[in-house]
C-alpha cells in the first residue's frame, strides 16, 4: 500500500483503488470538503503525474473520459482549487509523491488498464440527498426529483412561478457553467417540453450564479443528476458500417427485386437507363 499525507489531503493506494480524502486545512475548498472522500477504482484511471515546484508540487490524476459524472457535468470548467483529483505536495514529501506515482503507474501497466473512454460511469457521483443554496435559489436532489426554490434575490417573474419540482424522467440534460468575469454562471436543467434557451435569470429551470463562495457546490448537484441520466456514450451516433460489415442481403429477396424491376421496365414505368442503374445496384448487393 502507498500513501501520502499532506495538509491538502490524504491519498492512499491499495492496488485496486485510490482513496482520496480532502484535508482539513482552511485552504481546502468548500467543494472538496463537501464532496468528501472519493474511492477511485484503478480501472477508471487513464494516468497519474507529479509536477515539482519550488514552493510546492502537485499530484494529478487523469481519469478516463466518461468515468466520472462530476468531470462530465463540469466539462473542464472546474477551477484547480476545486479539483478533487489534484493534491498539493510540500517539498519535503517529493520523494513520497514520486514513489506513489510509480506505484500507481506500475499497477496500470500490470493490469493493462486502457486509457480509452468508458461506456458507463465508474464513480457513483456525490452522495444523496443533496441540497445547495447559491445565487438566486436552492437546488435539491433526492435521486428521483430535483427541487428548485427561489430566494429574495430572484427576478420577480421567475419567483412568481413558484418552486419547481422536476422528475428525473423529464430531465434531458443538466448544465453547470461557472461565472466568468462579468458573465454570470448557472445550473440549468433541460426539461421535456420546455421552451428554447432562456437566460438563467428568467429561466424557471435554472439557478443563476454570481461568483460567490458557494457557487461551485452547484456542480455537485449537476454531477448527482448527471450520474443518473443516460451515459453520454449512449448518445453517440452509430459509426457507419463498411461494405464488409453490412449484413448479407437475402438472396431470394434480391431475385424477387430483380423480377419486379424487369416487370416495371417492360411495363414502361422505368426507362432503359433507370432500369440499368437499379439492376446494377441489386447485382452489387448479390
Mean pLDDT, rounded, for 70-86: 95
pLDDT per residue as tens digits for the range 170-213: 999 999 999 988 899 999 999 988 877 789 999 999 999 999 99
- C-alpha cell at position 254: 434480391
pLDDT interval class at 248 (50, 70, 90): very low
In this predicted structure, the answer to whether residue 67 has a pLDDT above a threshold of 70 is yes
Q: How far apart are CA 202 and CA 107, in angstroms?
A: 50
- C-alpha cell at position 88: 498539493
Q: How far apart are CA 217 and CA 78, in angstroms?
A: 11
Contact by Cβ (8 Å): 150, 136:
yes
* Cα of 274 vs its chain's centroid, Å: 50
pLDDT per residue as tens digits for the range 202-243: 999 999 999 999 999 999 999 999 999 999 887 544 444 444
pLDDT per residue as tens digits for the range 155-166: 999 999 899 999
Amino acid at each position: 500500500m502507498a500513501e501520502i499525507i499532506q495538509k491538502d489531503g490524504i491519498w492512499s493506494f491499495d492496488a485496486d483503488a485510490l482513496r482520496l480524502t480532502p484535508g482539513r486545512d482552511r485552504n481546502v475548498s468548500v467543494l472538496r470538503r463537501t464532496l468528501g472522500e472519493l474511492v477511485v477504482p484503478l480501472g477508471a484511471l487513464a494516468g497519474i503525474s507529479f509536477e515539482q515546484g519550488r514552493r510546492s508540487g502537485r499530484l494529478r490524476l487523469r481519469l478516463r473520459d466518461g468515468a466520472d459524472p462530476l468531470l462530465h457535468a463540469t466539462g473542464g470548467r472546474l477551477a484547480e482549487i476545486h479539483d478533487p483529483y489534484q493534491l498539493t505536495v510540500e517539498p519535503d514529501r517529493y520523494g513520497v509523491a514520486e514513489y506513489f506515482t510509480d506505484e500507481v503507474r506500475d499497477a496500470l501497466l500490470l493490469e493493462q488498464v486502457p486509457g480509452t473512454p468508458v461506456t458507463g460511469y465508474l464513480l457513483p457521483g456525490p452522495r444523496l440527498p443533496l441540497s445547495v443554496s447559491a445565487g438566486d435559489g436552492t437546488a435539491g436532489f433526492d435521486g428521483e426529483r430535483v427541487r428548485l426554490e427561489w430566494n429574495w434575490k430572484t427576478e420577480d417573474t421567475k419567483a412568481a412561478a413558484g418552486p419547481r419540482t422536476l422528475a428525473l424522467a423529464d430531465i434531458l440534460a443538466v448544465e453547470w457553467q461557472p461565472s466568468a468575469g462579468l458573465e454570470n454562471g448557472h445550473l440549468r436543467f433541460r426539461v421535456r417540453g420546455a421552451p428554447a434557451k432562456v437566460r438563467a435569470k428568467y429561466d424557471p429551470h435554472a439557478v443563476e450564479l454570481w461568483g460567490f463562495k458557494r457557487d461551485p457546490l452547484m456542480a455537485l448537484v449537476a454531477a448527482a443528476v448527471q450520474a443518473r441520466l443516460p451515459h453520454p456514450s449512449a448518445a453517440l451516433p452509430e459509426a457507419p458500417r463498411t461494405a464488409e460489415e453490412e449484413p448479407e442481403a437475402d438472396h431470394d429477396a434480391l431475385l424477387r427485386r430483380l423480377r419486379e424491376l424487369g416487370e416495371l421496365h417492360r411495363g414502361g414505368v422505368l426507362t432503359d437507363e433507370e432500369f440499368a442503374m437499379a439492376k446494377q445496384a441489386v447485382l452489387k448487393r448479390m
